[in-house]
Amino acid sequence: MSEFLTAALGFPAVLFGVALIVVIAFWLLVLAGAAEYDAFNAQVDTDAGPTGLGGVPVTVPVSLLIALAWFASLAGSVLVRRHVEPGTVRTLWSFAVLVAASLIAWGVTRLLVRRLRDLVPEQAPPSRLDFIGLTCTIRTGSVSADFGQAEVAAADGSTALVQVRQSGDDVMGYGSTGLLYAFDVEGEFFWVSPYDTALDPRAAG
């Protein structure tokens, strides 16, 4: 036990040990519901990236990298302390353990992240075609064959202002509800028709 503690509190394992304490504290907060697992993600990468660690929330590879580096450095430190006498040579071996532990942790983490990416189904990127079939709120005074804008809410709750056109002469003024039923790729606008929420069977429920 004393050998383990000495190695854990010595160089280089102590460097990764401090980081590991932070990682453990973070995941305990996640388990307690006090933090989200992706709370520190600027975004969730969809590409592997040059490091090979992308495609999953950044907290996952960082946690794996630190934990594996700590374990590898601890094991290496124990071996060095058992077989190398204190002095300059041991110090050099300790630095070698630091480098080796980092490389081993990176390599193993990369393999694990690749496995995790394979388990996560790929999601199609957002498309304006996703708005077809949704209702919208007209945001211009009128809608014609060459003019009109409307606000539409996406499935994730976000809203977007889109260009809309109609093929008939229906009156659609500001604040009225329309139905987006087609998208013109060349003109980059949606075809819209009047929509009465009272006719929606879902509204009756």
The predicted structure's pLDDT at residue 57: 77
Q: What's the mean pLDDT in 27-50?
A: 59
Q: What's the mean pLDDT in 108-131?
A: 77
C-alpha 25: how far from chain center: 21
Residue 109 pLDDT greater than 80, yes or no: yes
- Name the percent of the chain lying above pLDDT 70: 81
Q: What's the mean pLDDT in 21-30?
A: 89
Nearest 5°: the CA angle 94, 72, 74 is 60
The predicted structure's pLDDT at residue 38: 52
The predicted structure's pLDDT at residue 126: 61
Helix (H, G, I), strand (E, B) or coil at 180: strand
Residue 27 pLDDT greater than 90, yes or no: no
Look over the chain and give the mean of its residue pLDDT values, rounded to a whole number. 83
Q: How many Å is the maximal CA-CA distance in the chain?
A: 92
Cis amide leading into 12 (omega within 30): yes
Q: What's the mean pLDDT in 161-172?
A: 92
Extract the tokens encoding 99.
């480098």
The predicted structure's pLDDT at residue 200: 53
- pLDDT tens for each residue of 175-197: 999 999 999 999 999 999 998 76
Residue of higher predicted confidence among 106 and 199 = 106
Domains recognised in the chain with CATH numbers: 2-119 (no CATH), 128-204 (2.40.50.140)
Residue 71 pLDDT greater than 70, yes or no: yes
114 Cβ contact list (under 8 Å, min separation 6): 48, 52
Distance CA(85)–CA(16), nearest Å, equals 23
Distance CA(183)–CA(62), nearest Å, equals 42
Q: What's the mean pLDDT in 163-173?
A: 92
- Name the percent of the chain lying above pLDDT 90: 52
Distance CA(110)–CA(121), nearest Å, equals 18
Residue 42 pLDDT greater than 50, yes or no: no
Residue 168 pLDDT greater than 90, yes or no: no
